Structure 1
Amino acid sequence: MPKHILVTGPSRSGKSEWAETLANKVSKPVIYVATAQENPDDPEWQQRIEKHLLRRPSHWQTLSVPHDLSITIEQAKPPSCLLVDSLGTWVANELEQDEESWQAIASQLLTTVQKASVDLIFVAEETGWGVVPAYPLGRLFRDRLGHLTRQLGTIVDTTYLVTGGHVLNLSLLGEPLINIE
């Protein structure tokens, strides 16, 4: 049985490092699914991407997947482990979608995860712990990512929260909410 894992937490919490640690523990080929799009005009963004790249073992394959996440997961073949970093960036890449299109994309991802025949490790940012964004696009992003993370958390095998320098296994400590609005 493939394992499906969600690693969530705030910015700079270590969630990507924890996800990479988990991926290193599997005895399967790891495919790092990078959802970030490079931007040569933004040196700070490029440094972030480079930092993630340098942490990865050289034998890991890297795929750049800013949009077609469901297709990438569907096409993966056992015994692979896909590490998707990150859902927040992927949601941001899809913000131009109208609500109906977004719902179809999100539903397709969730269905694909449930049917996936490979190990999956998702990294997702927690954005709803702060002030409600003052602008519509910020609220749309926060709401879409929060809702998707909540739905994903109920269908994966294990959900981790990384915060304050600690990793918490929420699947052992908590109880999933079944009714999702």
Structure 2
Amino acid sequence: MGKVILVTGPARSGKSEWAEILAMQSEKQVVYIATATQNSADAEWNQRIAQHQKRRLEDWVTLEVPIELSATLADAQPNICLLVDSLGTWVANLLSQEDAIWENTVAELLETVDLVAADMIFVAEETGWGVVPAYPVGRNFRDRLGSLIRQLATVCEAVYLVTGGHVLNLSVLGSPLPPKS
């Protein structure tokens, strides 16, 4: 297994920028795995994607992977650094999956992460720090993403929280909870 890092935090906190810095510091070829795709009906969404694209170095390879994340990770060569941005968008792309299928999807992802020899940096949004969403789909998204972040963090060498433009290494500052049974 390569080095696995998780960068999490709220919207517009700098988490993607920190993940990009970590990817550059790896001194490996970076493969940027974008889980978001352009939407011709949403100019503001496309602008957000463009902001991310502008920060990428010219020699980085970009793959758009809205769904097949495990298969893409499994194909990675050991001498590269994969930067997955973001798990929140990936979860949103798969919200229509029934719970049992979703649990299998997460299990497959975690098994794949254990087997991949490449370094991996995952970016994930923190949700659930405020009001409980009023609609079932919002609660489902929040719960699935929160659970995925917790499970992934158990196999990470480092977990960073980026908030207010500051980076906290939770692996150094905190103690992990026991795995959920």
Q: Same fold (TM over 0.5)?
A: yes
- TM-superposed CA distance for 1:141, in Å, is 0.2
- TM-superposed CA distance for 1:179, in Å, is 2.6
Query: d(CA) in 1 for partners of 2:77 and 2:132?
Result: 40
Equivalent residue, structure 2, for 1:85: 85
Please say if 1:139 is aligned against 2:143.
no
Question: What is the letter of the counterpart of residue 163 of structure 2?
Answer: T
Deviations 1:28-55 (A, max 9, x none): 1000000002101100000000110000
Question: What is the letter of the counterpart of residue 37 of structure 1?
Answer: T
Unpaired stretches in structure 1, ≥5 consecutive residues: none
SS at match of 2:154: helix
Question: What is the letter of the counterpart of residue 25 of structure 1?
Answer: Q
Equivalent residue, structure 2, for 1:166: 166
Query: d(CA) in 2 for partners of 1:162 and 1:40?
Result: 30
Query: d(CA) in 1 for partners of 2:46 and 2:166?
Result: 27
Query: d(CA) in 2 for partners of 1:61 and 1:55?
Result: 13
Query: d(CA) in 2 for partners of 1:176 and 1:44?
Result: 37
- TM-superposed CA distance for 1:180, in Å, is 1.4
Unpaired stretches in structure 2, ≥5 consecutive residues: none
- TM-superposed CA distance for 1:78, in Å, is 1.5
Equivalent residue, structure 1, for 2:95: 95
SS at match of 2:145: helix
SS at match of 2:24: helix
Query: d(CA) in 1 for partners of 2:33 and 2:68?
Result: 11
Equivalent residue, structure 2, for 1:124: 124
SS at match of 1:105: helix
Aligned residues between the structures: 181
Q: Give TM-score, length-normalised by structure 2.
A: 0.98
Query: d(CA) in 1 for partners of 2:39 and 2:25?
Result: 32
Question: What is the letter of the counterpart of residue 73 of structure 1?
Answer: L
Answer yes or no: is the 8 Å Cα contact 2:78–2:116 preserved in 1: no
Equivalent residue, structure 1, for 2:47: 47
Equivalent residue, structure 2, for 1:15: 15
